[in-house]
Amino acid sequence: MSDPLLQVEGLQVAYGTPAAPVPVVQGVSFTLGLEKLAVVGESGSGKTTVGRALLRLLPSQARVSAQRLRFDGIDLLGAGEREMAALRGSRLSMIMQDPKYSLNPVMNVGSQIGEAVQRVQRMGRGECRSAVEALLERVRIREPQRVAAQFAHQLSGGMGQRVMIAMMLAQRPQLLIADEPTSALDVSVRQEVLALLDELVAEQGLALLFISHDLNLVRHFCDRVLVMYAGRVVESLAAADLHRATHPYTLGLLNSLPSLRHRRAVLPVLQRDPAWSRP
């Protein structure tokens, strides 16, 4: 049996001074193959920090360590900055939560996607423009010529996320990290973006790390789920088996979800235990 594409063992991230470190990720371990793995938890649980640590995109004051942090046999902690710059985008990509803050406000969409295209293969202006329009069509954007000429502030939320996906696809990554890519979208657009991601994972053989706080969404969309609390993974299970969760934190999150089928006068409040944040 071949090794998984991504191996994470004992990942630690801390801020502060060496004398008084403040841990934000504590001993996170998981593997990822050609599948959809969800990382869920409340805001502040460390989900996004884990994703950014994999790409070495954390601020310089962050101290990152791990017993193992390997992508396709490459030691991500030991890799030089030049090697990491070559990996980012070309083999490792990340879709940020809100395209308004990720897209360049003074460059049109076509120019930004064109930069990603040119990183993979140098080509002439006309050929690059055709490749950009093909990518926009690939993510189900109508009138790709018109959209390519637009700027970030002219795009809707769903359109912006499709543009972000097109930029990632331009470089044909093996691992895609999606940081709550549907949290700012309405229900119908969210389903369209999820269907697009699902299709791309199946067709291109991508490994997807899907960061979310929506348990109902990942239950149906992902293959496996990691539940994080206070920087730790407190439970790991198949997405289809979320109803069989045993950790009190996971159960508390599930019980606090409203349901149209089983109406309750009062939703229960999650009662936290300090022991959950200890090893």
> Is pLDDT above 60 for 117?
yes
The whole-number pLDDT of residue 119 equals: 80
Specify the higher pLDDT residue, 119 or 252. 252
Largest Cα separation within the chain, whole Å, is 63
Question: Taking a C-beta distance cutoff of 8 angstroms, is the pair 85, 91 a contact?
Answer: no
For residue 64, what are the contacts with CB-CB under 8 A and spacing of at least 6? 11, 12, 13, 53, 56, 58, 77
CB-count burial class (<10 Å; 0-12, 13-18, 19+) for 254: middle
Complete domains list, the chain, with CATH: 6-99+174-277 (3.40.50.300)
Q: What is the mean pLDDT of residues 110-132?
A: 88
Question: Taking a C-beta distance cutoff of 8 angstroms, is the pair 32, 11 a contact?
Answer: no
Here the tokens at position 49 are 């920090």
Confidence of residue 2 (pLDDT cuts 50, 70, 90): low
Using a pLDDT cut of 90, give the percent of the chain over it: 49
State how far the Cα of 228 lies from the Cα of 186, in Å rounded to an integer: 25
Here the tokens at position 41 are 């938890």
Query: What backbone torsions phi and psi does residue 156 show, to the nearest 5 degrees?
Result: -75, 170
State how far the Cα of 160 lies from the Cα of 190, in Å rounded to an integer: 12
Number of residues written out for the chain:
279
Task: Supply the DSSP symbol for 273.
Answer: -
**pTM check: above 0.75:** yes
Q: What is the mean pLDDT of residues 127-140?
A: 90
- Could you count the other beta carbons within 10 Å of the beta carbon of residue 268? 10
Give the lowest-confidence range in 105-114, 175-184, 258-267: 258-267
State how far the Cα of 18 lies from the Cα of 39, in Å rounded to an integer: 28
> Is pLDDT above 60 for 1?
no
Confidence of residue 139 (pLDDT cuts 50, 70, 90): confident
Question: Taking a C-beta distance cutoff of 8 angstroms, is the pair 170, 135 a contact?
Answer: yes
